[in-house]
Structure 1
Amino acid sequence: LDFPITGSSQAPQLIPQQYGIGPPINQDQPTEEDLVWTKQLIEMLNTCELFNDEVELQHREKVVKQLESLFEEWIMEICEKLNLPDYVTEKVRVKFLPFGSYHLGVDSKGADIDALCVGTRFVERKDFFTSFFEKLKAQKEVKNIWAIQHAFVPIIKMSYDGIEIDLVFARLLRESVPDILDLQNNSWLKEIDKESILSLNYLSSTLVIKFFKVYSLW
C-alpha cells in the first residue's frame, strides 16, 4: 500500500474549551467606543447611587458572618440535644453559602442577601423552620421574620440589622458537610434528601459565575 508522504508533521490543533451549549457570540476585544460607553454607564450608575460604598460592603459582610455563626451554633445545639458523643460532634461541619447577586459581587444598594444553609443528616427540615427560626427570632438584630415552610421553595425571610435576608435549607445525608462542595460534580446530589432539591438555587448561580469567568477572558 502506498501512503502519502508529507514534508513536515503538523502538531495537533488544540480545541478551545466551550462553556454551555454554544460558543460565545463575540470574542472580539472591546473597541475604544465600547470603553467610552462603559465608562459613561458606570458614571450614570454612580449618579443613581446604585453601588454599595465601602462601609455598606463591610456591614453586609459582617451580617453574613454573624448569620453563619448562628447557623453553626444552632447545629451544635442540635447535636447536644441528640446526645451525640463528643467524637462525633467534634467532626460535624456545616456550610452557610450566600448565592445570587451578593455571591457574585453585583448586588446593588438595598438588595437582599440570599443564602443556602447546608445541614447534616442529624438535622431535620422541620428543625430549621422551628428551633432555628426561634433562635433567629430571639436576636435583637432581627425584625419582621417569617417562615414559609410549605412554599414551593421553603424559605425563612427576615430583616437582619437592616438588611433583607432570604434563607433556604438543604440537608446532606452525611455526618459532616465537606469543606469544599464541587458543584461541577453532581455525584454529591445523591446525598441530598429529595425535599432539598428545590432549595438548590445556589447551583443556578454557578452557571452565571462560569459566564463571568469566560467573559473576563474576552
Structure 2
Amino acid sequence: MIYLLSGEDHFAKEQKIEAIKQSILTTENSRQFDYELLYGNKLNSELLKKTLVALPATATQRVVLIRAVHKLNTHNKELILECVEQEPEHLILILDADEMDARSAFFKKLIAQVKVVRFGQRKKKNVFDMTKVMGAGNMEQTLKILHELMDEGSHPLQLMGGLTWYWGKERNRVSSEKFQHGLRCLQEADLNIKRSRLKPQEAMEVLVVKLMEN
C-alpha cells in the first residue's frame, strides 16, 4: 500500500501516520527495525533504492515515511514512480507533501495510482488554544503551542492578555495562595518583557511553567 498525504495540517497528518504505523508495527522490535524515515530535500538516491527494496526484519511489512516529497529531485521521483508501478507487497510507503502541484507529471501519476489523503491547510492556533491545553495540564503541548504562536508573530503582550484572562478564570479552581502566586508571576513576566530583563520567548516560557506548577 502506498499513501500520499498532502496539505499543511501537520497535527492531523501525524495522527494518520501514527495510526498506519501502529497497525503494521505492533512490537517494539518491528518499530525499531522495520520503520524508516527519509527526507525528500536531502535524500541520497542509493539510500532510497536500498530502502525501497529492503525486506521486513520482524513485521509482515516495512513502513517507510518520506517527508517533503515535493522537494525530491528528478531521479528520486523516478525511483518512487518505479516503486509505485511495482506495488511491492512487503512495503507500506507513506509520501508526505506539504505542497502538491496536481498539474505536475509526478503528482498526476501518483494521484492516479496511490491512496491520496488530503489534510488541507493547518488551522492557526491562538492563545485560547494554549490556555485550553494549560487547563488540561499538558506542559509539553502548551510550550509547543507557545513556540508556534511566537514563531508566527504573536506579540508577547497579547499573549500576556490571554494568560491574564485564563488565570482570572482559574481563581475558583486553585488555592488562594496559588492564585496570588500566579498574579505575581504574571506581573513579573510583564516587567521582564517591558524592561527587557529576559528575551520575550524566555519570559513567556518561564511564566507558563510557573502557572502550571503544582
TM-score by length of 1: 0.24
User: Higher relative contact order by CA 8 Å / sep ≥ 6: 1 or 2?
Assistant: 2
TM-score norm. by structure 2 comes to 0.24
Larger helix proportion of the pair: 2
